[in-house]
Amino acid sequence: MDNIDGKQARRTGSSSPLGELFDHGIDSLNCTLASLLGTAAMAAGPTKLGAFIALCPCLAMFFSTWETYHTHTLYLGYFNGPTEGLLIASMIMIASGYFGPQIWDLQLVELIGFPVLVGSWNLRDLWVPIILVAFFVAHLPGCVYHVVDARRNADLPVLPVFLEWLPMLIYTGSIAAWLGSDDSHLLQDNHLTLFCLTLSLVFGRLTTKIILHHLTRQPFPYWTILLLPLVGGAVLANLSRLGIDPVSPDFEYLYLQAYFVFALVVYGNWAWRVIGSICRFLDINCLTIKHKTKKAA
């Protein structure tokens, strides 16, 4: 359905920039939410591995959005999220449903031997290098190639576009610093779901702003206010490195709850205003097709 919605919109004559914004916006929210289901299916739980599985698809989505901003075309390569990614996720869930999630605890040495090479790795551990190789080999190079090609064809400098990776570096680095800190209790206190729900809204705002600026031909957005509490959380979780007593687990959880409410309000208000503005400007409805009344001859 994600791959054919554009064709359906053109068939009904309802294709519009709002549809593209909806498509990318919902995909951005779903990056974390759908992957969180994968974390549950693989029984990764509230661990660093579980957080990685749930949040890593945001990397691929960001760079596809960055690519679209510069090329004004969404390229789907031989291996892409809306097709192969969803099929793999579906197969993981089917395997977990049929064999039970304990299948991911199966030791690689029992399957292929070579204990010197695979050590104590299980099938779940194998998922991390698979994701990283898929991203750095099959996805990111294509995005960079298309952006560089578009900039050169437009006779524009290439190097400045790499500064546009800054918001994603802040997003990724802050998550790693927060959850990777020994003073953070979010994972061990089983708050990964709330963390992912919050980060889904943050990432949704980040990428949807890029698409909006792509549609309206505005400068690339380097920042969203929703990143600020994420950086704050990373700092709170690492206060001991600054010689300050760490915050309590209860305070950290309260901070995360407040962050979720803040993100929900900011994202919801922004989405409401943007959708309303586009609908009024284009004289269209948001979720229904407005049939124009024909004037009598």
Q: Cβ(20)–Cβ(3) under 8 Å?
A: no
The domain in which residue 24 lies consists of 5-282
Q: What pLDDT, on the 0 to 100 scale, is given for residue 294?
A: 55
Domain count of the fold of the chain: 1
Domain assignment present for residue 62? The answer is yes
Q: Cβ(44)–Cβ(53) under 8 Å?
A: yes
Domain assignment present for residue 23? The answer is yes
Low-confidence stretches of the chain (pLDDT beneath 50): 297
pTM: 0.89
Q: What pLDDT, on the 0 to 100 scale, is given for residue 23?
A: 84
Domain assignment present for residue 297? The answer is no
Q: What pLDDT, on the 0 to 100 scale, is given for residue 1?
A: 61
Q: What pLDDT, on the 0 to 100 scale, is given for residue 295?
A: 53
Token pair recorded at residue 60: 């691929």
Domain assignment present for residue 12? The answer is yes
Q: What pLDDT, on the 0 to 100 scale, is given for residue 239?
A: 95
Query: Which one, of 291, 293, 284, 292, lies nearest residue 19 by Cα?
Result: 284
Domain assignment present for residue 291? The answer is no
Domain assignment present for residue 294? The answer is no
Domain assignment present for residue 292? The answer is no
Domain assignment present for residue 288? The answer is no
Q: Cβ(171)–Cβ(227) under 8 Å?
A: yes
Token pair recorded at residue 265: 């309000």
